[in-house]
Structures are given as structure tokens and as C-alpha cells.
Amino acid sequence: MEIIRAKHMGFCFGVSGAIETCYNVLKEPENLGKKIYILGMLVHNEFVVRKLEKEGFETIEEEDILTQKDKLKSGDIVIIRAHGTSKKVYNILREKNIKIYDATCIFVTQIRKTLIKMEDEGYEILFVGDKEHPEVKGIISFGKNIQVFKNLEEIVNAEIKRDKKYCLLTQTTLNKKILEKIKSFLENHYSNVKISDKVCGATQVRQQAVEELSKDVDILLVVGGKNSSNTKKLYDISKSINESTYLVQDENEIKKEWFRGCEKIGITAGASTPEEIVINIENKIRGIFNV
Ligand code: F3S
């Protein structure tokens, strides 16, 4: 029995950066004794969030800030999660004189900046992504009248006018292959849509690595949060190639019967999954097989 890790997996620099920001905020002498909140889930992983809560960070929900149900007081600290937040939340935090530490990933910030710049230049924005995802909600809140599409089918049916100029932007975790299809459709049908390809590199290499690995193993475990978009995409890619693909949050979800007759066990992890969880899973598998 062999456990093979995907060539690229686990924490991306955006997630590592967000966690590092939290610990740096704790260390700053001027922050001593202050109330420190993290906006929503810093990263989409329960384990990481619980660990930070043990360090004294409190989670504050975006919804509570928007509906004025929060307990924030002037001088408190709020760390913005890796996926970013909406313009309205930034404005409320500033009005309340909250000290903001912004851990929004650079990829998300870049998309946001492009959106603002393109709208200023007169482009209408077409956005591909999950409109319920915090990253997408945050980015589009900086624009005016944005059309959001889930997939190519929705774009095919979209109302794109010939006499206007458009810019297509995407969620950072969009699958590169889906993006290629969308690009080719738009390029073949419209000359007035500019495509800004800003899908995050960390997502791409993880998706490519799982695609390769899933062809080569008997079973593939994707480790990560059930509400993590990039983890879900790794799962979808692997599942479409290898039926024996399982998404697990930690070692407790592993089932012995999955491994019956398996020689090669592949493992990958979402960009917000800590190494510690992957090691626990590997140890549990070794325990099952007694190796
Ligand atoms: Fe940023 Fe990509 Fe990670 S958008 S948070 S580097 S998955």
C-alpha cells in the first residue's frame, strides 16, 4: 500500500498570509488588551477557525455588521478574511472607527481593482462565479450593474449587446477548463468582450495536480472544508475521473471499507486545509493497513 500526495496541495499563500496577519496582529504591542475580531471564517476551514478562537480571536459575522447587530466599539480590531468583504462592510467599519487589518488575498484585490478600473473606462462587467460565495459578493459590491453567471450555458443565454463594451471577470477558483470554454465562446461570438483572466495560480496548480493523480490511484481523498469552494472543485475534478473519490474534513470521516483492495491511495488538500489534518489522515490510513 502506498500513499501518494498530489504535487501541489494544501495551504496557498493567500491563506498562509491571512493566518500570519492574525498572529502579527496579536503580537503588536499597541493591540494588547484590544478586542480582536475576524470577519466570518478567515479561511474556509473549521479547524483553522477553531484554533484561532482558542487564541482569543472572536468571529464576527458580516450579516451582523450590515444589520447593526454587532457588538463592535470604536477602537476594536477587525481582520478581513482572505476572501475579502463588501464595500458596505468596509464603510461601516470605517464609520465606527474600527482598526482594520485587511487579509484579503492579493488575487481577490486585483480582480476588485480591475472591476473598478474597467467600469471607470465605460465597460459593463460580466462576472463568472458563484454569486452566493463571499468572495464574489465582496468583489461585485464594488461595481454598479454587474451580470453574474454560473457557467457557460448562462453566458450563452445572456443578453450581450453589440453596441456596448464588456469586460469578463471571474471568481479566483474558477476551473481553468471551464474558463477556456467560456473564452472561446465569447471570442467566437463577440468582438466587444474583453476577457480578464485572473484565475488564481494556486488554484490552477492544485486542480492540475489532482487531475493527474486521480488517474493513477485506486482511491483519492480530498481533504478540506465542506464549504470550501476550491476543495469542492478538487473533489469534482477527481470524481469525474476516479469514482473512488471522497471528500473528508478530518481523520474521523475516514471509512475502512473504502480502502478494500486498494494499493495506491492518492491524497490532496484544499488551499485552506492545514498540513496537520493531512498528517492525521495519513497516520490513520497507515494504522488501518498496519504499515
Ligand atoms: Fe488567494 Fe488563490 Fe488562495 S485566491 S486565498 S491564493 S486559493
Give the pLDDT score at 190.
96
Query: Which residue, by CA, sits nearest to atom 2 of ligand 1?
Result: 200
pLDDT digit string (tens) for 143-170?
998 999 999 999 999 999 999 999 999 9
Q: What is the mean pLDDT of residues 215-224?
A: 97
Q: Which of 104, 105, 204 to mutate to test the pocket of ligand 1 (most atoms within 8 A of CB)?
A: 105
169, 198 in Cβ contact below 8 A? yes
Q: Which of 135, 159, 251, 282 is catalytic?
A: 135
Confidence of residue 291 (pLDDT cuts 50, 70, 90): low
Give distance in angstroms: CA of 271 to centre of ligand 1: 7
pTM: 0.87
pLDDT digit string (tens) for 38-73?
Answer: 998 888 888 888 899 999 999 999 999 999 999 999
Q: What is the mean pLDDT of the chain?
A: 94
State in Å: Cα 229 to ligand 1 middle. 11
Give ligand 1 pocket residues (Cβ under 6 A): 12-15, 82, 105, 107-108, 172, 200, 202-203, 230, 271
Rounded to the nearest 5°, which phi and psi values hold at 242? -125, 110
**pLDDT tops 80 at residue 130:** yes
Identify whether 159 is a catalytic site residue.
Answer: no
Counting from 1 in the atom list of ligand 1, the atom nearest the Cα of 107 is 4
